[in-house]
Structure 1
Amino acid sequence: MKTGVLALALSAAMTLSACAWKGAPDGAKNQLVGTWSMVSATTERQGIRADAYGPEPHGWLVFTREMTFIEVLTDPRVPAFESNVRGEGTDEENRAAMAGSIGFFGRYTVDQKGEFSGNTVEGSTFPNWVGSVRTRDDLQLEVDGGRMTEHFLRPDGTQVHIVWERVR
């Protein structure tokens, strides 16, 4: 009996997944699909420009054909925790790790041209972003061949600019 229930649940999940997949409308090529590596990340506030994740940031952004994404950004200069245990960092270590990295994932949409039109964050290392819905008014992703630029405005007025390079 359990096998039948499991098979039915799996079949339903696969059907829902197939129905939920919304590639680029009208057969347009989804410009975002692939793996992207961060080239640079800067912030700008009140005319002051700074490196967002250090001078040589590390980061990956992956867009799937199934309209999901995952983004992880890190500053490689963040020191390792003395305890070597993730949940046992000191206040200073935790503060540095939080300020020097972010990871989040969710779903995204594209328009009729296959260009980014929005996303919904389903999970994040910054809890305030969970459930966030962003449109082009909040977040712009512009693809030009193997390069993509990302621009968004934080609630405090800080502008963030990230340059990505397509890996695949």
Structure 2
Amino acid sequence: MNADALIGTWFLREAYAVGPRGERLHDVYGARPTGVIHYGGDGRMMALITHEGRTQLDGDRQAAPESQRAEAYRSSIAYAGRFDVESGWVRHAVDMSTYPNWVGTVLRRALSFEQDAAVLTTAPQMQDGIETVIKLVWQRQPVEH
């Protein structure tokens, strides 16, 4: 598998946590998240995911109440960097992100294709005391909500 299969823009269809026995646990960003990931022919990628049900802020980004700004931060993630594909894995070398802890790291995702979708699966991680993986299903066409 090479990077050519990923080149272009993909839209998030669903994202959910999977438990240790393969069971679907919960939707990570709500039942109808919004997301886009773009892989460029120049080896750079960018991703943006927002949770379902976000509310507008009262005022501009700086003047809105702190609690609203915090909720806006909690309900979205964006990052960009270089990417490469090797042996069934895509690696995102993050050089900018709304989550500063990711800057300078490599996010490694198992990559598979199922029908019309690209499926990215995280490495196992602990969530609420349960080892889970997050499965993100991306499709070429925008998702209608």
TM-score (norm 1): 0.69
Measured in 1, the distance between the counterparts of 2:35 and 2:57 equals 20
Alpha-carbon distance change, 29 to 54 in structure 1, aligned in 2, over 3 angstroms: closer
Question: Any conservation in 1 of the 2:31–2:52 contact (CA below 8 Å)?
Answer: no
Aligned to 1:149: 119
Amino acid aligned to 2:62: G
Matches within 5 A, 1:17-166: 30-44=4-18, 49-83=25-59, 85-111=60-86, 116-135=89-108, 139-153=109-123, 155-156=125-126, 157-166=131-140
Alpha-carbon distance change, 154 to 73 in structure 1, aligned in 2, over 3 angstroms: farther
Q: C-alpha offsets along residues 127-157 of structure 1, whole Å, 9 cap, x if unaligned?
A: 001111134xxx2121245211111147544
Measured in 2, the distance between the counterparts of 1:88 and 1:44 equals 39
Give the number of aligned pairs: 136
Q: C-alpha offsets along residues 24-83 of structure 1, whole Å, 9 cap, x if unaligned?
A: 8xxx66211111011011134687722222111110011011111010001241111112
Following superposition, the deviation at residue 164 of structure 1 comes to 0.7
Structure 1 range deviating more: 141-150 or 34-43: 141-150
Aligned residue for 1:167, secondary structure, equals coil
Alpha-carbon distance change, 45 to 146 in structure 1, aligned in 2, over 3 angstroms: closer
Q: Which runs of 4+ in 1 moved over 4 A?
A: 44-48
Q: What 5-or-longer segments of structure 1 have no aligned partner?
A: 1-23
Amino acid aligned to 2:43: M
Q: What 5-or-longer segments of structure 2 have no aligned partner?
A: none
Measured in 2, the distance between the counterparts of 1:108 and 1:36 equals 15
Question: Any conservation in 2 of the 1:32–1:116 contact (CA below 8 Å)?
Answer: no
Measured in 1, the distance between the counterparts of 2:36 and 2:136 equals 11
Measured in 1, the distance between the counterparts of 2:133 and 2:3 equals 29
Higher strand share: 2
Identity %: 24
Higher helix share: 1
Aligned residue for 1:89, secondary structure, equals coil
TM-score (norm 2): 0.79
